[in-house]
Amino acid sequence: MNGPRRVLVLAAILAILALGGLLDRGRRPAPETADLPPVPMAAAADARSSAWYCTGATAAKDGVADGTVAVANAGRKALRGTVTVYPSQGESRQVSIDVVPASRKVVRLADVAPASFASALVELDGGEAVVELAGNGSLGEGVTPCATAASPTWYLADGVTTRDATEVLTLFNPFADDAVVDLAFGTEEGPVTPQALTGLSVRGGGMSTVNVGEFVQRREQVTAAITARTGRLVVGRIQSFDGSAGRKGMSMALGAASPGELWYLPDGLVTDGLSEKYHVFNPGNKEAQVEVELALEQGEAEPIEVSVPAESRMTVMANDEPRVPKGVPHSATIRSLNDVGVVVERTVDATAASKRTGAAATPAAQVTARRWALAWGASDDTFDEILVFQNPGLTGARVSVTVLADGERLANGAVQGLEVAAGQRRAVRLGDSIKRNATPVLIEADQPIVVERTLNRLQGTGTSMSVGIPLRG
């Protein structure tokens, strides 16, 4: 075979091999994380670094949500890093942290950079850590996961600006370049697009706040869509009720970076003194057909179907639904039936008749996972902590809880190998087996599940409900 012909044959063989390789890769299953939505998720154990973006707290004396960042190390490697606090006024400041395995470190924002409001960037030299932002004030507690990615879009399905309510959006830009954003709101009276919030600049390495009530006044239903013309950012919300009109409490929430077609909320209960609502926001331009499927601890309930017009919100009032029995705990799976993405939150208003008081707003989870962690928590004489496990799959799951206790892994037998039937939920009161004033936890299951934590103050106002943070692997 002459030289030129040999070259052509070799080229053809290489092309065939390359095509075969592409086809082979096309047949291989994609990694589990390939199609996951942009939700908070801990980096893998072998990650060289990880970053968390925390926004939505006050950092001044007598603030409604005095912010504290909690970093829990669920892995086997000691972690080092920094917490940089970005105040709403003044320059950012930084502190170093070391987090040994099976432990937690907390940093109060006001101790680093006091200001009316503050955000924080947590940077670590490895993975297997989770970060939450907790707020405390006279109206109770709020806890929310921090984000693991910035985004050009953010959505919030709920908000209230009635005379007894204050809604503040926090916009955090941890990057060097300024971000320019547009804010649009939806209400029971129609859309609101304030001119002052069109083309709003959020300086690089800084944060801004928006008191929604100054632009959208006296509204019971307020959705928010934040879109960046340039740059990326992280958006959160502080919602408070002063008690003058009945509701009293405070909640903190991280926005959703994108709509989704499937959402989960493990905890749920309708009883005297407890008002439960599911808010479904459709930010798109096509009507969404949505199903709210409830899994009861006892009995069965027919799914609730709702139509959500484009750029609108519909609310399912669980207390008004005859198919939702009183006093029977439930979990919820909310799915779009026509491939139109939506954003889902659940709100709970509690009075003394329910044996807890406060207001909680919880963005729903978008993924299932076998491993979850929570950095905040307490199960002592001040707080009642409840962990709820939802198993939306077709196979029963066995779930175990480990408390990360100052370098020691506490695995009480009462919370090991808990069985959660397929399509069901199960709740455990952590204080029944482990009493501690700090309870970062690692939850491991042999099937994909969803985890939610409820914290109730035993004396006074305060209830917080938030989904856990999944771990890769």
Mean pLDDT by 10 residues, the chain (473 residues): 42 39 31 56 96 95 96 98 97 98 98 98 98 96 97 98 98 97 97 98 97 98 98 98 95 98 97 96 98 95 97 97 94 98 97 90 97 97 96 98 96 94 97 94 98 94 96 85
Burial group, residue 100, by CB count within 10 angstroms (0-12, 13-18, 19+)? middle
pLDDT for res 305: 97
pLDDT for res 36: 52
Helix-strand-coil split of the chain, %, nearest 5: 10, 55, 35
Tally the C-alpha atoms within 13 A of residue 154's C-alpha that lie toward its C-beta: 28
Tally the C-alpha atoms within 13 A of residue 192's C-alpha that lie toward its C-beta: 20
pLDDT for res 355: 83
pLDDT for res 302: 95
Quote the CA–CA distance of 188 and 223 in Å, as a whole number: 10
pTM check: above 0.75: yes
Quote the CA–CA distance of 452 and 267 in Å, as a whole number: 7
- The amino acid that residue 89 corresponds to is Q
State whether the Cα torsion 92-197-142-461 is positive or negative: positive
- Residues 6+ away with beta carbon under 8 Å from 22: none
